[in-house]
Structure 1
Amino acid sequence: MRKQNNNSQPNIRGDGWRGEIEEIISGASGGFLFGIPLLYTMEVWFIGSYVQPPVLLCILGVTFVIILLLNRIEGFRPQESETLFGAIAETFETIAIGMTCAMLMLVILQRIDVQTPLTEILGKIVFEGVPFSLGVAFSRSLLSGDAEVSFKNRNQTESRYSGKHKIIWQDTLADFVATLIGALFIAFSIAPTDEVVVLAASASPLWLLIIIAASMLISYGIVFAASFTNYSERRQQQGLFQSPQSETALSYLISLVAGLLMLWFFQKVSLNDPWFIWLRYGIVLSLPASIGGAAGRLAV
């Protein structure tokens, strides 16, 4: 049986399969936030391509023990695992979610495909899946926090103002700034790397569209589908672009522009480069930037 929250707010997660899906999405959201930076690292790609299976098993074993200890304290589910058997079952699920997320990202970024040898696929998935799995375990700590309290305090402060337009512009500006800060926080360390250039060079127009779709889908999942602490309050916010679809699209554009500015700042693109080079590099960097922007919006 699920534990009831200590406050008077009802549990926003559903019951049965719906609640299970929401918990998986919540865990995956933390996995994307924690694991994306390491995904843009060529050294990890290379290490995963030649490490032998016994070493991979040892890595999985150590990861299992670490996540088991984390789940005994606070797992990705809102209810705690009171028994060792429950914690073990949740640990298997945590690692499965993390490895699945890592595999999907490796496919989207074309680091693995049908021609990649099986041992190389397993190596890359394991090495990239470890931070994703840790992110799943840390998802509640990473993404829930005290956002609900701060949002309520902000609403109480805003209620002192007269005029609805002032509140609308404040909410819109808050989302804009939060998206920008989150995008910078995650993508700033990725922008100067050669991985962006390598990934962009191998991406066809179809794969660039897939990256855009994945960026928006993950961003939507983090903010609206994962049902974190301030989920219901965000739907009541009064910004200009507050429907889930329009906010996701606008936030992606902000993340894309922020990515382009970061690339220009680090001299990865110049004003003499053709527009399609800017667009290619920007779309590749927009994936981590939009994920960071989504996490930033959870804080407002």
Structure 2
Amino acid sequence: MTLNSQSSIWQTELLNLLRGASGGFLFGMPLLYTVEVWWIGSSTTPLWMLSALGMTFFVIYFLNQSEGFRTALEIRLIDAFMETVESMAIGIICALLALLLIGRITLETPLNETLGKLVFECIPFSLGVALARSTLKGDRAPRKVHKLRSSLADRVFPAFLADLDATLIGALIIAFSIAPTEEVSLLSASMSPLWLLLIMFASLVLSYCIVFVAGLTDQKERRQQQGLLQNPMNETLICYLVCLLASALMLWFFQQLSFDDPWQEWLSDTLVLGLPASIGGAAGRLVI
């Protein structure tokens, strides 16, 4: 096996993992901001944890029997089993990173509570990994969809405005149900300024990976779009700002923030809600 072929295999494998992780975050983020799930995870028993993992494994196994997140057309039973194990592993790792990011798991968290939260949060993440190819993979979409997108962008408004519109819609779909809850202020109150910077960095990286790295859309076409705002970095930054603005407006709309609150509270709450909003915004740009 040549060095180039080995490199190609590793690149393909990395792309598969990134695609699975991106699908995991798309499906798992809303449940991550649910305090009831934190409580259930804190009080659940080991037997119930095993039962939850077993049921999740059973569901993902049958999903992978029909079509996994790799490109193989024929999936044997052993292949479906191995992909199920890998889907669960990716989902668990993504859920662990997400729980660490929002501070629901720390070094001081008891082991049983950590495992309980991780088990229940990894369920939607793992399902998202399993569904990443069959639901979201870009090369399965008919080419006429992309032609329609280009036609609408050229004739009605510039392409970057279409991206901003899709970003806003996606952010609202994901974050609108989170904004009126107390979880946002609860999380932001426990985060330091440095940790909020980490939240902002993670939001940018995740949205960039979902749209431009994970292979969930026709990335070559997106990268070929013309205009100052249409390169990947500029688009990611500007769309993130749109998600932050939408997050602030949603928090104000649901009276979670008022103009009497200090700007630090506005900033911290907006950044915390901006994480799921930016992932939703990235998902919105996938479908246009």
TM-score, normalised to structure 1's length? Answer: 0.89
Pair 1:130-2:123 in alignment:
yes
Q: Which residue of 2 aligns with 1:277?
A: 265
Q: 1:93 corresponds to which letter in structure 2?
A: E
What is the rounded CA distance, in whole Å, between the counterparts of 1:242 and 1:72 in structure 2?
Answer: 38
Larger helix share, 1 or 2: 2
Q: Which residue of 1 aligns with 2:65?
A: 72
Return the offset for 1:262: 0.5
What is the rounded CA distance, in whole Å, between the counterparts of 1:66 and 1:255 in structure 2?
Answer: 33
Q: 1:200 corresponds to which letter in structure 2?
A: S
What is the rounded CA distance, in whole Å, between the counterparts of 1:212 and 1:155 in structure 2?
Answer: 31
Structure 2: state its 5+ residue gaps: 1-6
What is the rounded CA distance, in whole Å, between the counterparts of 1:217 and 1:243 in structure 2?
Answer: 15
What is the rounded CA distance, in whole Å, between the counterparts of 2:120 and 2:130 in structure 1?
Answer: 16
For 1:152-163, list aligned pairs within 5 A.
Answer: 152-155=147-150
- After superposition, the Cα gap between the structure-2 partners of 1:179 and 1:147, relative to the gap in structure 1 and judged at 3 Å, is farther
What is the rounded CA distance, in whole Å, between the counterparts of 1:96 and 1:47 in structure 2?
Answer: 21
Return the offset for 1:142: 3.9
Secondary structure at 1:92 match in 2: helix
1:184-214 deviation per Cα after TM superposition (whole angstroms, max 9, x unaligned): 0100000000000100110110110010011
Q: 1:96 corresponds to which letter in structure 2?
A: A
Q: Which residue of 1 aligns with 2:161?
A: 173
What is the rounded CA distance, in whole Å, between the counterparts of 1:122 and 1:58 in structure 2?
Answer: 13
- After superposition, the Cα gap between the structure-2 partners of 1:265 and 1:83, relative to the gap in structure 1 and judged at 3 Å, is same
What is the rounded CA distance, in whole Å, between the counterparts of 2:217 and 2:116 in structure 1?
Answer: 36
Pair 1:115-2:91 in alignment:
no
Secondary structure at 2:158 match in 1: helix
Asked if structure 2 preserves the Cα contact closer than 8 Å seen for 1:179 and 1:293, the reply is yes
Return the offset for 1:80: 3.9
Q: Which residue of 1 aligns with 2:4?
A: none
Q: 1:16 corresponds to which letter in structure 2?
A: I
- After superposition, the Cα gap between the structure-2 partners of 1:278 and 1:148, relative to the gap in structure 1 and judged at 3 Å, is farther
Give RMSD over aligned pairs. 1.7
- After superposition, the Cα gap between the structure-2 partners of 1:296 and 1:75, relative to the gap in structure 1 and judged at 3 Å, is same
Specify which of 84, 87, 108 is matched with residue 80 of structure 2. 87
What is the rounded CA distance, in whole Å, between the counterparts of 2:80 and 2:283 in structure 1?
Answer: 27
1:19-48 deviation per Cα after TM superposition (whole angstroms, max 9, x unaligned): 111111111111111110000001101111
Return the offset for 1:243: 1.6
What is the rounded CA distance, in whole Å, between the counterparts of 1:76 and 1:158 in structure 2?
Answer: 31
Pair 1:63-2:56 in alignment:
yes
Pair 1:257-2:245 in alignment:
yes
1:275-295 deviation per Cα after TM superposition (whole angstroms, max 9, x unaligned): 111111100000000000001
Percent of aligned positions that are identical: 55
Return the offset for 1:81: 5.0
Secondary structure at 1:138 match in 2: helix
What is the rounded CA distance, in whole Å, between the counterparts of 1:189 and 1:147 in structure 2?
Answer: 32
What is the rounded CA distance, in whole Å, between the counterparts of 2:13 and 2:265 in structure 1?
Answer: 42
Q: Which residue of 2 aligns with 1:199?
A: 187
1:54-101 deviation per Cα after TM superposition (whole angstroms, max 9, x unaligned): 211111111111000000112222224521000000000000011100
What is the rounded CA distance, in whole Å, between the counterparts of 2:273 and 2:163 in structure 1?
Answer: 20
1:131-168 deviation per Cα after TM superposition (whole angstroms, max 9, x unaligned): 10001111124433637531223335667x6xxxx8xx
What is the rounded CA distance, in whole Å, between the counterparts of 1:273 and 1:240 in structure 2?
Answer: 36
Q: 1:70 corresponds to which letter in structure 2?
A: L
Asked if structure 1 preserves the Cα contact closer than 8 Å seen for 2:22 and 2:132, the reply is yes
Asked if structure 2 preserves the Cα contact closer than 8 Å seen for 1:30 and 1:139, the reply is yes
For 1:3-18, list aligned pairs within 5 A.
Answer: 15-18=8-11
Asked if structure 1 preserves the Cα contact closer than 8 Å seen for 2:211 and 2:285, the reply is yes
Asked if structure 1 preserves the Cα contact closer than 8 Å seen for 2:244 and 2:271, the reply is yes
Bigger drift between 77-86 and 95-104 goes to 77-86
Asked if structure 2 preserves the Cα contact closer than 8 Å seen for 1:50 and 1:123, the reply is yes
What is the rounded CA distance, in whole Å, between the counterparts of 1:247 and 1:189 in structure 2?
Answer: 25
Bigger drift between 77-86 and 274-283 goes to 77-86
